Amino acid sequence: MKSIALPVGIVILCLALILGFGSNSFTVHMVVHMGIVAVAAPLIAHGLVGARRDPMARWTWMTPMLASLIELVVIWFWHLPVLRAAADASHPLTLIEQIGFLAAGLLLWIACLRPGEGRLAGTVGLLFTSMHMTLLGVLLALAPRPLYGDGAVRCFGISLPAAADQQIGGVVMLVVGAFAYLVGGIVLLAGVLRDGETLREGPRC
């Protein structure tokens, strides 16, 4: 799995980046966003952690919780209505936005997936990220009015009112983003508990 995680993650990242240009649909934006931070980033991070090319091998000060807070700031910053509108209107700004999402996602997943005693901290970091992803997704899905423009938008070839497009995008973030980080946290926690059980049992003859 580790040997193919990196190339698969890079392929998904490239597909997401291509999809992210030329659409003003918030749902399309959110599919791209989740594809980068919740699918491509963990796969790439899994392929890099522990390897010689691990970009954070010496960044021991970068804790999972700090990385989660950085991702929170990046995600909420780029979902401010004025910045969302600016990114939709500018390809260079869209690219900067996507690079920011990728950097924040890799930072978090690499910090959380580090082997050793930091896995419990990684569990906390991923679960906290799941919580703030859930909060933002709920706020976007339940907003009483569209925050990102008005009128109709084209979402994967379908014409939708801006309000419905935003609601679907919020649900995508709520389901995909929150689920990915929650599952990651649970898997790390299961590993911590399993290792603790092994230590208590001791070596078997």
Contacts of 194 (CB under 8 A, 6+ apart): none
Nearest of 65, 63, 45 to residue 54 by alpha carbon: 45
* Listed residue (185, 36, 165, 191) closest to 123, CA to CA: 185
Token reading at 152 = 């109709």
pLDDT number for residue 116: 62
Query: CB of 189 within 8 A of CB of 135?
Result: no
Stated as kind and residue range, the H or E segment containing 79 is: none
CA-to-CA distance for 47 and 145, rounded, in angstroms? 41
Q: What's the CA gap between 111 and 64, in Å, rounded?
A: 5
CA distance 203 to 103: 41
Average pLDDT, rounded, for the chain: 84
Q: What is the pLDDT of residues 40-79, one digit of tens each?
A: 999 999 888 876 666 666 777 788 999 999 999 999 999 9
Instruction: Return the amino acid letter for 159.
Output: S
The per-residue DSSP string of 11-48 comes to HHHHHHHHHTSS---HHHHHHHHHIIIIIIHHHHHHHH
pLDDT in tens, 73-110: 999 999 999 998 888 888 889 889 999 999 999 999 98
Which of 46, 55, 43 minimizes the C-alpha distance to 12? 43
pTM above 0.95, yes or no: no
pLDDT the model gives residue 56: 63
Length in residues, the chain: 205
Q: Is 156 exposed, middle or buried (0-12, 13-18, 19+ CB in 10 A)?
A: exposed
Q: Specify the pLDDT at position 117.
A: 54
**For residue 195, what pLDDT is reported?**
66
| Region 163-168 average pLDDT | 91
State the pLDDT at residue 78. Answer: 93
> Residue 139 above 60 pLDDT?
yes
Rg (Cα) of the chain, in Å, rounded? 18
